[in-house]
Amino acid sequence: MRQINTRFCVIEDFKMIKKFCLLLFLWLLCSCASQREIAFSSLQNGDLIFVEARQENLSGAINRVTQTSEHENFDHIGILEISDEGMFVLHTSPKLGSVRQPFQEFYQSNLKNQQNMVVYRLRKEFRNAVPSAIGKAKTMLGKPYNSTYVLNEEQYYCSDFIERAFRSHGIFEHIPMNFKNPKTGEIDDFWKSFYKNFGIAVPQDEPGTNPNQLAASAKLKRVGRLK
């Protein structure tokens, strides 16, 4: 009986070691993927460029209430256009509104702010949406930035701009907006003050989008961090 118990324990130990090694392998695989870098020459038309969030001010406040990953968090997004004229990022920002910005200008501006950029790409079965999405994005250029994040047809915010660009293909969807601090379960103090300045109520649970939500879409794959 003792011999059988000993053999049983050895088998169980082996199974645990095997399971641990598998988990370690998967962790290393994910870690390597998250650290992968991509050169400019590997970029493709329609790539989505996500800008990593900072920890303070508006960027930090957006990240606090929309975070989906402990490893990467974003506060901005644009779509890349590669044409005979060069490389451009179609996006909307508080300072510029909805613009077609030269890629290098976009890239250097974010580096100056010490914000890294990560490239995501539509999976193969959804790549046919790219040409019309870029075409739609161009029709929205010149519109101002939507600082309240309450959806309307005359102003856009960054993830709203991208959702609209791909809307005819149903790539992304609206979700209830969240402004609650995950640590307290209450509306984050930053957002209380933010919306008080606009004279409107915090639009908790109203439809919207955010960069972290878009990055988490199963229709996208992470390509790598821009060098």
The pLDDT, as a whole number, for residue 54 is: 78
Cα–Cα distance measured from residue 52 to residue 54, given in angstroms and rounded to the nearest whole number: 7
Cα–Cα distance measured from residue 51 to residue 124, given in angstroms and rounded to the nearest whole number: 23
Both 16 and 72 in one domain: the answer is no
The pLDDT, as a whole number, for residue 61 is: 79
Both 18 and 92 in one domain: the answer is no
CA 70 from centroid of its chain's CA atoms = 13
**How many Cβ atoms sit within 10 Å of the Cβ of residue 204?**
14
**CA-wise closest residue to 170 among 208, 126, 205:** 126
Both 119 and 28 in one domain: the answer is no
Domain count, the chain: 2
Both 61 and 159 in one domain: the answer is yes
Both 108 and 164 in one domain: the answer is yes
Both 53 and 125 in one domain: the answer is yes
**CA-wise closest residue to 214 among 114, 64, 25, 77:** 77
CATH number at residue 102: 3.90.1720.10
Both 108 and 203 in one domain: the answer is yes
**What is the sign of the dihedral through the CA atoms of 120, 123, 124 and 127?**
negative
The pLDDT, as a whole number, for residue 27 is: 40
pTM: 0.82
Both 121 and 145 in one domain: the answer is yes
What secondary structure, in 3-state letters, does 79-105 show? EEEEECCEEEEEEEECCCEEEEEEHHH
Residue 161: which domain range?
40-226
Both 136 and 185 in one domain: the answer is yes
| Per-residue pLDDT tens listing for the chain (227 residues) | 555 555 555 556 656 565 554 444 434 344 444 458 999 999 999 999 999 987 666 767 787 788 666 667 999 999 999 999 999 999 999 999 999 999 999 999 999 999 999 999 999 999 999 999 999 999 999 999 999 999 999 999 999 999 999 999 999 999 999 999 989 999 999 999 999 999 999 999 999 999 999 999 999 999 999 98
Both 111 and 72 in one domain: the answer is yes
Q: Are the beta carbons of 105 and 150 closer than 8 angstroms?
A: no
Both 120 and 164 in one domain: the answer is yes
Q: Are the beta carbons of 126 and 169 closer than 8 angstroms?
A: yes
The pLDDT, as a whole number, for residue 15 is: 60
Task: Spell 45-59 as b/e; 16+ CB within 10 A means b.
Answer: ebbbbbbbbbeeeeb
N-to-C CA span, the chain: 62
CA 64 from centroid of its chain's CA atoms = 14
DSSP state of 64: H
Both 107 and 213 in one domain: the answer is yes
